[in-house]
Amino acid sequence: MTVLDVSALATPPDVDAAVCIVGSGSAGATAAWVLAEAGLDVVVLEEGGDFTGPQLTGRDGPMYDQLYMDRGARTTSDLSITVLQGRVLGGGPVINASDVVPMHDGTARHWVKRWGLTDFSPEALAPYRDRALRDLSVNAPAEEQLNTNNRLLREGTRALGWRGEVMAHNRVGCAGTGTCLIGCPLNAKRNTRFVAIPAALEKGARFLTRARAVRIEGADSDVKTVHVWQLDPRGHHERALFHVRARTVVLAANALASAQLLLRSGIGNAHVGRHVSLQPQLPVTALFKQEVRFFRGIPQAYAITQHERFDDQQHGWWGFRIEAIAGTPGIVSTLMPMGGAEGKALMRRYPHVAAVLCLLPDDATSRLEVESNGRLRIHHGMDAELLGRAREAGKAAARAFLAAGAVEVMIPAVPPVVIRKEADLARVDAMDFAPATVPFLSAHQQGGIRYAPSESDGAAAPDGRVYGTRGVYALDSAGYPSSASSHTMTPIMTTARMLAEQLVTLLGR
Amino acid sequence: MDSPLFRRRAFLGACAGAGGLLFMGGALAWLRGSAPAVDGLLALTPQEHRTLVALCRALFPATPEFPHNADDADLARRFDLFLADEPPWNREDLKKALFLLEFSPVLAFRVSTFSRLDEPARLLHFASWQRSRVLLLRQAAAGFLRILSLMFYDDRAAWPAIGYEGPIHRAVTP
């Protein structure tokens, strides 16, 4: 079997299958593998195209256009947060930083205790997590693979006596192209695209690309009909509608897109589209006298873990975490707060810049709304408490960079906040974070179809079945009641395999 | 109340109001002027294109250390191509934002549209949007700056000035 690009068809035919999976990322590809292995006839719908090897050109313009939802321009409704979400065969792992950070046992215990998800205990998840780690060929980056950006962050962390770690990753054969966030032209990421999808294809699963699912009909019937748009070859325009008929529909299109599909279909209870965690990230840059050239090598390998904890009564994972980051010129320039000669002068510092992202677990109070034309509106829930942690995180990042010898640190806000010495940190305290003045990012969306043992507390049962439906399941991070991890690839592969195996049993296989 | 005097006052008031609107419309049309035709535009009108060119030149001017500029990168044309592939709601939002940008100096009591301002004044005006208390203006400024920056710095001719040699893996570039 091969991957079928439906944009190449004159008229896409309707399709019948036992299971229709919407989305081909960590959850969708893993579920397809498990279900196809059990002998089920599986069809997977992917809105993006299939990009591997030299098709991943390392160019910002075409790659953000092709590999990201809304061409990389998806934002919250007030433009406070740029929401990065993969839209490509293989999903987020094709464009992520390849960090492997499994769900902490403390977070799993929190889900059991606070949310009643007894099936998600550390003991229950352990074998599935181990399987995910094997599938990812997880390994530790070698010391020589740490680029100057990561080393400087480690140096600053150690100078301050803080905790930090080199994160495990799923690269094999990495040559340090530095373009991980727009795909690896060397196919060095051992991810869904190169593990789960080939395995699922081998077992007979069918993958349709350039296929946008927009509606599910008959969610309480034996057979559901998924309405699907054939997209044009570049994935920008809807061409012809076709249908996939299946007894079981699996939502695995990312938290936002899975909830969006339910909202567009009028399926589910009042919890659908609510309790969304965007896990905002605050970028902080630093200028060094020496060349850093953060755009070469592994962009994100070192993390300051000093300020995170996993035993918060209300949230499980809480506090903040600071991780090195880098990017190609286009995406880095989108963080710059000004134009004109001043803006260009800032970008001329590019080889001397180091950068981090401050990851902020949030309270899952963001919510989604779908307009009549299908447009998704994301209303974020950044409150005073979260912004307080953002200030603390920004100051901690600045301290680490100053300790590593930075000439100056900048939070690229409007106006920019520049820190050259300890006393300047008060400027961070004075930041008001008015919407559309600070380039927050979101890369790990969760929630929107929250799992809960009772319909009064969530949108789906702990086995993934969406309440009010017969045979519609959410198997991706949409079900998470709180942030599972600073990097969701491994947790999603873990829970998707566990839930897909349960689904095989439910379907009598 | 329905006296001839009242009817006459109402009529005169309506005439004055209509006249005022016509005057304002005429003044705005005069200020806007006519834009030169541009071949091959896919989404923008010539007027919108003119505003966009003015914005691009303000945001990405040639400097001694970094001579590559918005015109060299054909930035307005790239934006037009981008816009043509956007969903209708985004396309319309960005076109409305260009319209507002063009006339917003008038709202600030200047007898000029955005594209008629000189380059430093345009940059200052744009910066006033970035710092505005009005969320909509901040949003529009952030949106334009992000999209145009990504396009400008994706242009390989911009790389030498920022010390970037380009992707090190020789790949097929569309």
The residue of chain A nearest to residue B133, with distances taken between CA atoms, is A434
Q: What is the residue-wise DSSP string for B81-99?
A: HHHHTS-HHHHHHHHHHHH
Angstrom CA distances, B39 to A346, B45, B57, stand at 35, 10, 20
Name the burial class of residue A112, with classes exposed (0-12), middle (13-18) and buried (19+) by CB atoms within 10 angstroms of its CB: middle
- Give dist(CA A384, CA A476) in Å, integer: 29
Burial A284-303 (b: 16+ CB within 10 A, else e): bbbbbeeebbbbbbbbbbbb
Write down the pLDDT at residue B1: 46
- How many beta-carbon contacts under 8 Å exist across A and B? 155
- Res. B173 pLDDT band, cuts 50 70 90: very low
Residue A278 · residue A383 · CB < 8 Å: no
Write down the pLDDT at residue A2: 81
Mean pLDDT check: name the lowest of A384-388, B16-20, B57-61, B138-142.
Answer: B16-20
**Full-prediction pTM beyond 0.90?**
yes
pLDDT, tens digit (0-9, with 9 covering 90-100), for A340-374: 999 999 999 999 999 999 999 999 999 999 999 99
Query: Half-sphere exposure (CA, 13 Å, Cβ side) for A4?
Result: 17
Chain A CB within 8 Å of residue B92 CB: no
- Give dist(CA A455, CA A88) in Å, integer: 33
- Is the pLDDT at B4 greater than 70? The verdict is no
Residue A357 · residue A325 · CB < 8 Å: yes
Average pLDDT in chain A: 97
- Is the pLDDT at A307 greater than 90? The verdict is yes
- Give dist(CA A103, CA A317) in Å, integer: 9
Chain A CB within 8 Å of residue B9 CB: no
The residue of chain B nearest to residue A235, with distances taken between CA atoms, is B85
Cβ contact A175–B169 (<8 Å)? yes
Write down the pLDDT at residue B172: 42
- Is the pLDDT at B10 greater than 80? The verdict is no
Write down the pLDDT at residue B26: 63
Cβ contact B154–A61 (<8 Å)? yes
Chain A CB within 8 Å of residue B10 CB: no
- Give the list of residues 6+ apart from residue A468 with CB closer than 8 angstroms, or none: A219, A220, A267, A268, A269, A455
Chain B contact set for A236 (CB, 8 A) = 85-86
Name the burial class of residue A432, with classes exposed (0-12), middle (13-18) and buried (19+) by CB atoms within 10 angstroms of its CB: exposed
Interface of B with A in 108-127 (CB under 8 A): 123, 126-127
**Residue percentage of chain A with pLDDT more than 70:** 100
- Res. A236 pLDDT band, cuts 50 70 90: very high
- Is the pLDDT at A150 greater than 50? The verdict is yes
Nearest to A413 by CA among A382, A389, A396, A391: A391
Chain A contact set for B139 (CB, 8 A) = 78-79, 435-436
Residue A152 · residue A301 · CB < 8 Å: no
Nearest to A437 by CA among B21, B111, B86, B139: B139
- Give the list of residues 6+ apart from residue A270 with CB closer than 8 angstroms, or none: none
- Res. B34 pLDDT band, cuts 50 70 90: confident
Substitution target in B101, B118, B149 with the highest count of A β-carbons within 10 Å is B149
pLDDT, tens digit (0-9, with 9 covering 90-100), for A154-209: 999 999 999 999 999 999 999 999 999 999 999 999 999 999 999 999 999 999 99
Angstrom CA distances, A29 to A46, A206, A332, B55, stand at 10, 11, 31, 44
Q: Once rounded to an integer, what is the mean pLDDT over residues B50-60?
A: 98
Chain A contact set for B67 (CB, 8 A) = none
Axis-axis angle for helices B46-59, B75-84 (nearest 10): 130
Question: Given CA atoms A173, A179, A180, A186 in this order, what sign does their dihedral have?
Answer: negative
Chain A CB within 8 Å of residue B162 CB: yes
Chain A CB within 8 Å of residue B149 CB: yes
Write down the pLDDT at residue B6: 61
- Give dist(CA A267, CA A137) in Å, integer: 38
